[in-house]
A and B are shown apart, each in its own frame.
Chain A
Amino acid sequence: MAVRLMTERKVVPYTGNMATAEALRQINPDVVAAYPITPQTEIMHFFANYVANGLVDTEFMTVESEHSALSAAVGAAAAGARAMTATAGPGLALMWEILGVASGMRLPIVIPVVNRALSAPINIHCDHSDMMGARDQGCIMLFSENAEEQYDNVIQAVRIAEDERVRLPVIIGMDGFIISHSIENVSLLTDDEVKKFVGKQTLTHSLLDIDNPVTHGPIAMADSYMEFKRQQREAMMNAYKVIREAGEEFAELKGKKYEHIETYKTEDAEYILIVMGSAAGTAKYTVDGLREKGEKVGLIKVRTFRPFPYYDVVDVIDASNVKAIGVMDRAETFGGYSGPLFEEVCTSLYTRGKIYPITGIVYGLGGRDCNLNHIEEAFDVVKRKAAGMDVPPVTYLNLRV
């Protein structure tokens, strides 16, 4: 029996990794399988402590690679367990094959990811290339702005993943070191509240149900593979609703509302930046500063990257006075026009018949600093674009020339 540790709500000084581990403890998954990789390792240090001290009922499996970690979680989830893992950067890359297995088998595995750059050159710092590289593997993807959002998102992810309309893995990204290792105020729910919110999983086709034997993960050739992919598309579209419902219920519980996107001073904005992850916090602060100088700037933070909230993004842009948009990607799409977020935003606009001047901005690769000055530079690029000046498809922020 898991121990009830937190009987009152608390605000604690936690890093993103501590907050994630605390969420895992309160969720009390049946199985957690993990392999260490910087900057995720610490999550499992904390969680292994909980296991060793008997605070959770979890079967904790230390495996030989991330490929194995997710494979173990796949087996456990197919057996009917609530299974989780966590990883970062190259670890997620090594999981890549099994991500598609997990989503194709429709297993609701929750995967906190500490966003880290991919090699080479080797770099352990923040970058979204890991999740962007995995973006077509059929997993729901949420990005957190800070440690508390990561805690809240991980808890909501359990509900989203296990909803019978969805049944897909959920990856929740937080920026490596910037969130994972920085101490912030994190407001925690009580153990009972989390337990009640995540509820019990409704089992479908558990391998351990010997009275109703089933086969998981069979072959599906050209005669049926496409039908199963169409089902996955449907599940993703359902996830759009379910993520919103989970956010609303979470708001009732905690007071903080989570939507697919968060807008900041966009109503009358003429220049809008679109961003994901921790840079959103910096950008909000920059927006405040520029607003004091009378500049009409605003921000859209994308929380749900998969399924991408096409309508939400365009509705907000449409309701503003926008003259130009800058989309900030913390990942490259070499040879593409600009980054992955840029492409999604352009598609959203074009398919709704909304054409605005828009430009791509790549920032923060491999943990490169992105401070207030750099966000101001990004707004300058957007202003130049609005003025009809020549702006390259992609502007690299804070780059030595």
Chain B
Amino acid sequence: MKGWKNLEIGAVITEPGSSTVYKTGEWRAWRPVFQRENCIDCMICWVFCPDSSIIVEDNKVVAIDYEHCKGCGICAFECPKSKGDNESKKALIMKPEYLFREED
């Protein structure tokens, strides 16, 4: 990373779209786990996600961008296919991040 003498003064960003390279997913305490087989591609999660972290290809949700997802849980809360208690039927399930970090 650049030192203080080389950074733009006043923290001005001169390259548009640089937030994609600023990885902010580290903060996440909960992880949305996506189960493709239960998804109906209604795109509600895509609309609601405040961090543009629902990855869509050819009108289908394909994955979650864990480099930017903050784990807020809004996607899972809004998802019509993620109500009730039966986890196997949900499209999005919020799970504690430590379960995955231990695997790393």
Q: B-contacting residues of A (Cβ < 8 Å)? A: 104-107, 167, 204-205, 212-218, 220, 223-224, 226-228, 230-231, 234-235
Contacts and interface: CB of A to CB of B under 8 A. Distances in A.
Q: Which 8 pairs show the lowest CB-CB distances between chains A and B?
A: A106-B10, A227-B4, A215-B13, A230-B4, A105-B10, A205-B12, A106-B9, A213-B16
A65 B18 CA distance: 34
B18 to A, nearest CB: 8
B14 interface: yes
B33 interface: no
A205 B1 contact: no
Interface range on chain B: under 10, 10 to 19, 20 to 34, or 35 or more?
10 to 19
Interface in B1-56: 1-4, 7-14, 16, 18
Given A204-B9, A212-B14, A224-B11, 17 more contacts: A104-B10, A105-B10, A106-B10, A107-B10, A167-B9, A205-B12, A205-B14, A215-B16, A217-B11, A218-B11, A220-B11, A226-B4, A227-B7, A228-B4, A230-B4, A231-B10, A234-B4
A51 to B, nearest CB: 29
Which of B7, B12, B14 has the most chain A CB atoms closer than 10 A to its own CB?
Answer: B12
Contacts of B14: 205, 212, 214
A59 B79 CA distance: 48
28 contacts: A104-B11, A105-B12, A106-B10, A107-B10, A205-B8, A205-B10, A205-B12, A205-B14, A212-B14, A213-B16, A214-B14, A215-B16, A215-B18, A216-B12, A218-B11, A218-B13, A223-B1, A224-B7, A226-B4, A227-B2, A227-B3, A227-B4, A227-B7, A228-B4, A228-B7, A228-B11, A231-B4, A231-B10
Contacts of B7: 224, 227-228, 231
